[in-house]
Amino acid sequence: MDVRKLEGSIVALVTPFDEDGSVNFAQLERLLEFQIENGTDAILTLGTTGESATMTDEEDNEVVKFVVEHVAGRVPVIAGSGSNCTATQTRKSLTYQKLGADALLIISPYYNKSNEEGIYQHLAHTAGAVDIPCIIYNIPGRTGCSISAANVERLAVHPNILGIKEASGSVAYAASIAHCLSDDFRMYSGEDALTVPLMSLGASGAISVWADVQPALVHEMCRAYLDGDVAHARELQVIGQPLIKALFGEVNPIPVKEALAQMGLIEANYRLPLYPMSEAPKAALLDAMRGAGILG
C-alpha cells in the first residue's frame, strides 16, 4: 500500500473504553467498520483523540495490533507514536512498524519542549530509525511548542517524512510552509474548521475528528476539492461548521465520544483527567447533531 500518496479524509479515531476503563475491542471493531463502510481513506489510531496519553504500552500495542488485523489492508493504518522522550517515541515507532502499521504520526516534544535544533533532531531521529513513513504533527496548543517553518523546510526533504499534520489553527502558518509541499511531502489539515482553506494552500486532505461522526461527508468534502469541485467542498465545509464547533465545545475527545455514544456506536467512557461533558456544551452538541441530521 503506497501510503506516500495518501489523500482525502483520515479519521482520528477514538479509543472506546468500558466503564472500568479497559479498552472495548468490540466497540472498536464497530467503529472501524463504520469508518470503512463510509469511505474513510485511512485510519489514525492512538492520536490525541485516541487518549493514548493515558494508556499503557501494552494497551497501545494491543490496539495497534487489533486495528491493523481488523482493517486487513482495506485502508492505510497510521499509528500515533509520539512522545516527548525521543527514545520512547523511537521505541514505540519501531514496535508499531513491527505490528504492521503503514505509517506513523510523531509529535514535537510537549512539556520539555526543547530548542530549535532539539525539536528537529527529535523528529528526524525517529524518522531515521524506522522503515515506514512518518507524518510530523504540529499542534502547539497541546505541546507548548511549534514546529517552526524553518524546521518544516528541513524535515520536508527527509526521505522518510511524508508530510505534516497542521493543527496550529493559523492559516498564515500553513501558508508559510506551503512552498515545502510536493508529491513527497504533503500537508493534512488538523483543524476541522479549516480543512478547505488549508486545501486551497495545497493540503491533501484532513486528519479529522469530525470524521468520527460524519465520515462520508468529510470524505466527500475532501474528494470534491481534490477533484476540482471547490464550490461543493466549500459548501460542505460551511454546512459542517456548527457541528465542528460543538465537537470542540470541551476538550477533545470528550464531545466526540459523547456524540458517538448518542449514535449508539460506543459508550461515553473516559480516563481521568478527562471527564463526561457538562450540561451546557452537551446540550449544544445535541442541538448541532440534530441540525446535522444525525439525531432525530
Beta bridge partners of 84: none
With residue 216 as reference, give the H or E element that holds it.
helix 215-226
Contact 143, 110 (CB under 8 A): yes
Q: What residues contact 227, with CB distance under 8 A and at least 6 apart?
A: none
Beta bridge partners of 23: 17
State the first-to-last Cα distance of the chain, in angstroms, to the nearest integer. Answer: 39
Q: What residues contact 24, with CB distance under 8 A and at least 6 apart?
A: 16, 17, 18, 266, 267, 269
Cβ burial, residue 174 (10 Å; 0-12/13-18/19+): buried
**Positions marked catalytic:** 137, 165
Q: What residues contact 293, with CB distance under 8 A and at least 6 apart?
A: none
- Looking at residue 247, its amino acid is L
Contact 75, 36 (CB under 8 A): yes
Specify the DSSP class assigned to residue 45.
E
Q: What residues contact 26, with CB distance under 8 A and at least 6 apart?
A: none
| Beta strands, E only, the chain | 8-12, 42-45, 77-80, 103-107, 134-138, 161-166, 186-189, 205-208
State the helix-helix crossing angle for 279-291 and 230-247, rounded to 10 degrees.
Answer: 150
